[in-house]
Structure 1
Amino acid sequence: MKKIMLLALVFISVNAFAQEKKGDNQRKNQKEMRMQKSDFTPEQQATLLTKQMTLKLDLSESQQKEIYSLNVTQAFDKLASREAMKKAKEEGKKPSEQERYDSMVARLDKQILMKSQMKSILKSDQYAVWEKDMNHQKRGRQQGGDKEENGPQRERRS
């Protein structure tokens, strides 16, 4: 009887460790998609993003053209900053405090400009959906995944 119980315990514990966590597989897929996106040209990235936004926001033709131009500009900016960071890393240069501050201010200025441009292009209901989606993505990056994926958050008690 002891051997059967021990065997059952071993089987259950091995089975528990062998199962993959629910969020791990999705995170791997997202990482693969990001890696694949970096292989695309800025125009291709902008096209993909514009089409995704068209599906989510039901954009008109004129809205698609305007948003595509914004996405192309943004993709080229990202590519340029990525190349600059890569070059600096290869040279072993670390940015000074002022350079880091300036880059953060520039990034925030670009975000503010993008938000105001999107507000002028999109209708109010489309803008609300876009803004909600952007906040959801931002929260997901900060937490390492979506809130729904991680389950309900526990409150800390002092």
Structure 2
Amino acid sequence: MKLLISLFSIVFVFFQSGDLEALRNAYSKANSSNEGAKNFIELADKKNSSDPVISGYKAAAQILEAKITTDKNKRKSFVKTGATSLESLIKNNPNNAELRVIRMSVQENIPKIVGYSKKLQEDKSFIISHYSSQNKALKTYIRQFAMQSKTMTAAEKNSLR
């Protein structure tokens, strides 16, 4: 019985990490074009998980949907729903660096007029101070994000090695 549970756990973790890697890759391309955004949104919509990081990407997809929707009346709703969800996830998981990366990315790329940029410095500080304690895959992802970040200085980017 223990062997069966162990095998199930290993398979679950393997597929979970594959889902996460796919979301990370799609998210990194989402802001470059409407096609990239649509691909990320579709991928995020297909994911059903209680993992807060996957839920964070789903929240980012809701916010990103405001960028590509043709219905101007829905834009505010998409942003509000996604931002509320992302804030709730971070409140419940305050030490999760990847959720902070997601929020920082959203806040860097959302138009300033929306007013969703109050936590940029907090997230930047958190990411930098907790970088060394992350796993290798997340460190690579954080480094890639930092290199294109508008908020991080050159010195801060160089500190993430």
TM-score relative to the length of structure 1: 0.31
TM-score relative to the length of structure 2: 0.30
